[in-house]
Amino acid sequence: MEVLVWFAVADTPYLIALALFDQQGRRALPLAGRSQAEVAPEGEVPQVLGHALALELLLRVWQRSDEGALQRAAGLHSLLLVELPIECLPEDLPAVKAAWLRTGDTEALKAALQAMSSRAWTMAVEKFKPVALTPAW
């Protein structure tokens, strides 16, 4: 019975929050992620887990601000939430991250993520409103 549960979790897409920023002349791309217990239906956003990952990631980014000023590196696409197949995590995602850190080519990063997943959202907030997750592509 435990094996069946493990396969169910392995088949569930992973949700990854990414922050693209520059700090003291160097690019950074920290991320936070978790497997989804329940996948949001097509056309809907993973509100609860998405907001939890955004908070976790932004707290880590906030802590890094002690090391120097931060600047968004990709405008509205500087905070992304992407749903990825679990098989992309061990090799594909680290390669995409390393390429962006090396080149800073945000369009290539977005294209690579889009090739792995059709479900991604930008994260933004307006005063007196909750975090908004808007389709990124």
Instruction: List pLDDT tens digits, range 89-135.
Output: 999 999 999 999 999 999 999 999 999 999 999 999 899 998 899 99
- Return d(Cα 49, Cα 87) in angstroms, integer: 20
Q: Does the pLDDT value for residue 8 go beyond 70?
A: no
3-state helix, strand, coil in the chain (%, to 5): 45, 25, 30
At residue 73, the 3 state secondary structure works out as coil
Characterize 88-101 residue by residue with b for buried, 16 or more Cβ atoms within 10 angstroms of its Cβ, and e for exposed.
beeebbeebbeebe
Amino acid symbol at 40: A
pTM, entire model: 0.86
